[in-house]
Structure 1
Amino acid sequence: MPTYYIETYGCWLNKADSALIEEDLGKMGYVKVDDPVKADLIVINTCAVREDSEARELKAIERYYRLGKRLMVAGCLTKARPSEIVKIAPNVQLLTPNAVENAARVLQGGEEPSERTMARIPQFNGIGHIYVVPIQVGCLGNCTYCVVKYTRGGMGWVRSADLGMVKEYVAKAVARGAREIYLTGQEVSAYGKDKGYDLVDLLESILKGVDGRYLIRLGMLEPLELERIIHRLIDVIKSDWRVYRFFHIPVQSGSNRVLRLMRRKYDVDLFKWEVNLIRRSFPTTFIATDIIVGHPGESEEDFEESVRLVKDLSIDKVHVARYSPRPFTEAAYMRQIPDQVKKQRSSTLSKVALEVAYSRNLQYVGGVYEGIVSSVGFRGKGLMVRLMDYRPVVVEKGFLGSFTKVKVTDATPINLVGEVLE
């Protein structure tokens, strides 16, 4: 039987796309292997969000091409850098993000579809206990720095998976042993805009219609779209323990002037209001955000506003991204900030973010909390329990996918440390 090896870069949506590709390969008779040398087909699913990721992926493509195997490159890089890919791997087969629903057809020589419809999502394969569900693609924004609006689509439109289909697939997954359900997409808070319903409707449908012990993790919630649904969303989460008290709300900058340069659709005050409302609504919660440093036009004063925002709101986790020019984007043609300045700002904000995270984590030491054994620990050490607010606790023992009770004994800026009580 033919064999394949797959390597995935980037976000949870990319991981869900890889699951679709693997489904099609399985239907075609392919068997998965863990060693690319033993594979007849190598698939690399790429990300184009950051320049450093792009460089690693292009090196991987070149390395695997030299093995002389059939090579397919999927994902955002196929739209952002197709000529670069073909240059280093002339016989490569490209699979754009629009085509993952029809990977089998493309593999067999058929034409790619013009757009993605979200008429198909991957089914739970019964391996492990985490089920990643892509519920939408597209974005209602048009940010100056973003390449994803070109590679995946967006700029004012959304394509959502059918609510009934998502509920049905989640029910089947839970029945087969799934215990964590990750609802993912480009802009999860915009789910259903094309269907006449929204994310809260989907959440209510799953919670009311799917019995069992499981936890739902919501993907990225854009501030302006979150504002539409935040009160209803909080009410639903309050009423059912099976939703992580975890909110990933990307602010991107603490400066309103930079937000306007980025063409974001909200101001800093809205973000502050949402964070404070969530914190007042739940005894424990985990707030994550994204901040880009060094976007063209960002002054030192603008940067300091981002630092103050992290401190003032005590953000639990900050994904600090050093701005890098992306193809086809407006920001790439603006006057750029020197790399050394970007590096310094990135280092400063990262240090502050870790200090704030450590302070937040220290508040949990000595407490006893419930959670689920979610994954192997950092760097393969121990296991990681996710508390009900998704905060990670590293423990020495446990069973993956099992609900448990832990006592927190220590803290670091990255995670808590604890012991399993039951």
Structure 2
Amino acid sequence: MARYHIETYGCTSNRGESRAIESALRDAGHYRVDGPEEADVAIMNTCTVVEKTERNMLRRAKELEAETADLIITGCMALAQGNDFREEGIDAQILHWDDVPTAVTNGECPTPGPGVEPVLDGVVGILPIARGCMSNCSYCITKFATGRVDSPSVDENVEKARALVHAGAKELRITGQDTGVYGWDKGDRKLPELLDRICTEIDGEFRVRVGMANPGGVHGIREELADVFARHDKLYNFIHAPVQSGSDEVLEHMRRQHRVDKFRDIVETFDRELAYWTLSTDFIVGYPTETDEDHERSMELLREIRPEKVNVTRFSKRPGTDAADLKGLGGTLKKERSKEMSEAKMDIVAAAYDEMVGTEREVLVVEEGTGDSVKCRDEAYRQIIVQNATDHGLEPGDFARVKVTAHQTVYAFAEPVDAQPEPREPTVA
């Protein structure tokens, strides 16, 4: 029996992997302690996104090595850049996520059984539907850690979702490196079927958010997928489709599996099927081959599509990737382009939230906020804050109808709408 400490960095997919690791450890009789000093083994689930993140991972790994008897490092940076930890002289086991439980205390942890273990974070259930992707992007290092897509069956994922709901999940987050290619390794694209079955076969009041799906995978299923969204209120009207550039030439250099017209097709399809929805997308600025004209095409696409959520990232060379061999653009130029796009993004997002003021929305309370407030999500997954939650009797897991009163650029404020009294039968004089 071992005492373990685990730290998780990065996306919800990583958090899901950590929950699975912990589930296996608990099944084997191991237990979690509050800090690395008390632990027999510390587990660090790493992220690799930009160079700053990697420096933070290496720094924290050195600290954990000094604070605990044994250190296991897993996650994307460990699997894609394990040598970086070794070159820093860090004494740790570098392992795949699946191998962590059996490595604790020299392999004494047994292989977890076939039972479904709910993965809960408050009232949020995290459901990784597959691991890996089908892409070969020139700048991406995560693919070295995750490999090609590996998709469990729809039946298996529906049962996992059912277990999460029965365990108390009110929001299911469908995650993966690329949810749009779920099922491709089995010869078919299964995301619409999975979402339809979760919404129709699982009893209970809950909501479902679909995680990142690359446009190349979504394009071929866009009609079917939009139809599923339109038919099911349990699905948040939200998609995250990272376009990365408004220039077809840059997308080709990036080896992205889509071009700008395919991205537009997806947006137009969802616009046609859904009256109120949120598009989230990503842009990389300063890719080594990006010219001034390419950047302007990205700016034009941003202003044209006007996505309600935008992630802007400056290009950063990832060791071992093809893009790392290209001559980079200057830091000043990347900073200027990032600033221009970020400012335009904030104007677009602020306008979207400003349009919400005065409207009424159905929301799910997802988590506690600062002070006596709660964070909610409306039907398009837009964030709404309700203050004085105790006075309103609101807590995570509750559904409520609210009226939006104000916004703070990237989120709105609202007040609950009091239920109207039922009309009385007229009295006869």
Q: Is the 8 A contact 2:42 2:68 kept in 1?
A: no
- Hey, what's the Cα distance between the residues in 2 that align with 1:338 and 1:295? 10
Q: Which residue of 1 aligns with 2:61?
A: 61
CA shift, 1:91, in A, is: 2.6
Using the TM superposition, name which of 341-350 and 123-132 deviates more.
123-132
One-letter identity of the residue aligned with 1:53: T
CA shift, 1:103, in A, is: 2.6
> Match for 2:139 among 145, 148, 152?
145
Q: Which residue of 1 aligns with 2:200?
A: 208
Asked which structure has the greater CA Rg, the reply is: 2
Query: For the structure 1 residues 120 and 253, does the alpha-carbon distance in structure 2 shift closer, same or farther, using more than 3 Å as the test?
Result: farther
- Hey, what's the Cα distance between the residues in 2 that align with 1:232 and 1:121? 32
One-letter identity of the residue aligned with 1:212: G
> Match for 2:304 among 295, 300, 312?
312
CA shift, 1:231, in A, is: 0.9
One-letter identity of the residue aligned with 1:194: D
CA shift, 1:89, in A, is: 5.3
Q: Which residue of 1 aligns with 2:104?
A: 107
One-letter identity of the residue aligned with 2:183: G
2:361 counterpart of 1:365: no
Q: Is the 8 A contact 1:6 1:43 kept in 2?
A: yes
2:198 counterpart of 1:176: no
- Hey, what's the Cα distance between the residues in 1 that align with 2:213 and 2:402? 29
Q: Is the 8 A contact 1:249 1:288 kept in 2?
A: yes
Matches within 5 A, 1:114-263: 123-125=117-119, 128-154=122-148, 158-197=149-188, 198-263=190-255
- Percent identity reads 34
Q: Which residue of 1 aligns with 2:46?
A: 46
Q: Secondary structure at the match of 2:5?
A: strand
- Hey, what's the Cα distance between the residues in 1 that align with 2:65 and 2:233? 48
- Hey, what's the Cα distance between the residues in 1 that align with 2:340 and 2:57? 28
Task: Note the alpha carbon deviations across 1:147-186, whole angstroms, 9 max, x for none.
Answer: 11212113xxx21012111111211221221111111111
- Hey, what's the Cα distance between the residues in 2 that align with 1:8 and 1:95? 15
One-letter identity of the residue aligned with 1:307: M
TM-score (norm 1): 0.92
CA shift, 1:122, in A, is: 6.8
2:340 counterpart of 1:327: no
Q: Which residue of 2 aligns with 1:114?
A: none
2:415 counterpart of 1:419: yes
2:393 counterpart of 1:402: no
- Hey, what's the Cα distance between the residues in 2 that align with 1:36 and 1:384? 31
Q: Is the 8 A contact 2:307 2:349 kept in 1?
A: yes
One-letter identity of the residue aligned with 1:107: V
One-letter identity of the residue aligned with 1:141: S
Query: For the structure 1 residues 200 and 277, does the alpha-carbon distance in structure 2 shift closer, same or farther, using more than 3 Å as the test?
Result: same
CA shift, 1:123, in A, is: 2.3
Query: For the structure 1 residues 195 and 40, does the alpha-carbon distance in structure 2 shift closer, same or farther, using more than 3 Å as the test?
Result: same
> Match for 2:373 among 344, 368, 382?
382
Using the TM superposition, name which of 121-130 and 291-300 deviates more.
121-130
Q: Secondary structure at the match of 1:326?
A: coil
- Hey, what's the Cα distance between the residues in 1 that align with 2:397 and 2:273? 28
- Hey, what's the Cα distance between the residues in 2 that align with 1:419 and 1:343? 39
Using the TM superposition, name which of 257-266 and 83-92 deviates more.
83-92
- Hey, what's the Cα distance between the residues in 2 that align with 1:193 and 1:271? 20
CA shift, 1:28, in A, is: 2.9
Q: Is the 8 A contact 2:38 2:68 kept in 1?
A: no
CA shift, 1:37, in A, is: 3.2
Structure 1, unaligned runs of 5 or more: 112-118
Query: For the structure 1 residues 70 and 122, does the alpha-carbon distance in structure 2 shift closer, same or farther, using more than 3 Å as the test?
Result: farther
TM-score (norm 2): 0.90
Q: Secondary structure at the match of 2:385?
A: strand
Task: Note the alpha carbon deviations across 1:50-76, whole angstroms, 9 max, x for none.
Answer: 211111111111122221432111101
Q: Is the 8 A contact 1:291 1:321 kept in 2?
A: yes
Stretches of 4+ aligned residues off by more than 6 angstroms? 119-122
CA shift, 1:307, in A, is: 1.4
